[in-house]
Homo-oligomer: A and B are copies of this chain.
Amino acid sequence: MTRTLQGTPAADGFRMPGEFESHAGCWMLWPERPDNWREAARPAQTAFAQVAAAIAQFEPLTMGVSGTHYAAACALLPADVRVVEMAHDDCWMRDVGPTCVVNRRGTVRGVDWHFNAWGGLAGGLYFPWDQDELVARKVLACEGLARYRAPIVNEGGAIHVDGAGTALVTEECLLNPNRNPTLTRAALEAQLRAYLGVTQVIWLGRGVVNDETGGHIDNLACFVRPGEVCLTWTDRRRDPQHAVSRDAWERLRDARDARGRRLKVTRLPMPGPLFLREREARGIVPLEGSRARRAGERLAASYVNFYIANRGIVMPLLDARTDRLAAQRLKRLFPGRRVVGVPAREILLGGGNIHCITQQVPAGTRTRSPSAS
């Protein structure tokens, strides 16, 4: 069993680095469940394999796959992806994987949050979630990293940090009574300080319209670097997303980060609006206990849901009308990185996007690679 530490990262001198800092590698999980992924998850598997291949150009990529799907996943994935057996209830590694923290000596450790499928029995997306709950400790065990067990329900997609003392979250998600009903805003901030090593928490309001995670920050806005945020945006005033993004923009404009700086905010155009098609809905096997998906539902599409890899950006391609503009913006925001687009509608259909299905392990002082060749 991986070592579980007492104490907290902050007390031990650890902080969560920004995603734009150097990575040792990235983890994903394989999509499998037929009640969330159409056509027994085959189209999603193709999309996930393309994301994995894109990330593996930039950093080591490990895919966790259930025992049942192991051999098939190996056949579908490129040779440079490491495939490890790992049971899970669904494949959102951002939310069920560890949130890694580092100290000044370059030691890496992991935070294992409690997970309740985005709301437990009060609005969560499926039951049970016991295998998801084990994923973070399995990743940490596999990587040989020590583990902090955080005492709150949280998901990696519900937090962004600048690596320099500032966290970015939404009220819709963190204050939702289906996560930590007994904790006040102040108590939650105290937990974020303790487990992320931050000193300042910036609260936005709601997340992207119809985001079934309960308003994850990682679909709405993210840090590009300390002092700079990008925000999903639409100018269409009749779109309910307009008010959401406008409110976020105003809060970001008024915010100060941990160093007292104002934030520079860049707007990323939204795709769509996009909706679940009839034939897509037909491919999903409805199961009791899981959230139903109905044709015509609005999809929570956002280009902000990209992954920052070492020297690369892996972004979702979602809408031919806006993909190019979003890619151009990202190129300008990340001049040192190559922007790679992956067709991602199939990921969106499952309820998230590229950032939701990935989780970085920050680079430490020691290498993780064995004596391979």
Chain A residues within 8 Å of B, Cβ to Cβ: 1-4, 24, 60, 66-67, 70-71, 74-75, 77-87, 102, 106-109, 131, 134, 137-138, 141-146, 363-373
Contacts and interface: CB of A to CB of B under 8 A. Distances in A.
Contact of A74 (B1, B77, B87, B131): B1
A138 B82 contact: no
Contact of A24 (B3, B60, B371): B371
- One complex includes copies of this chain to the number of 2
5 contacts: A1-B75, A24-B370, A83-B141, A84-B141, A108-B371
A87 B108 contact: no
A366 B369 CA distance: 7
Contacts of A24: 370-371
Q: Which of A4, A77, A80, A366 has the most CB of B within 10 A?
A: A366
A77 B1 contact: yes
Given A146-B373, A371-B366, A71 B134 contact: yes
Nearest to A88: B67
Contacts of A1: 74-75, 77-79, 81, 83
Contact of A107 (B71, B74, B87, B372): B372
Given A1-B75, A1-B81, A3-B79, A370 B144 contact: yes
Nearest to A60: B144
A366 to B, nearest CB: 5
A202 to B, nearest CB: 29
A91 to B, nearest CB: 15
Contact of A144 (B131, B134, B138, B372): B372
A371 B79 CA distance: 25
A298 B67 CA distance: 36
A75 B85 CA distance: 20
A131 B67 contact: yes
Contacts of A85: 67, 84-87, 138
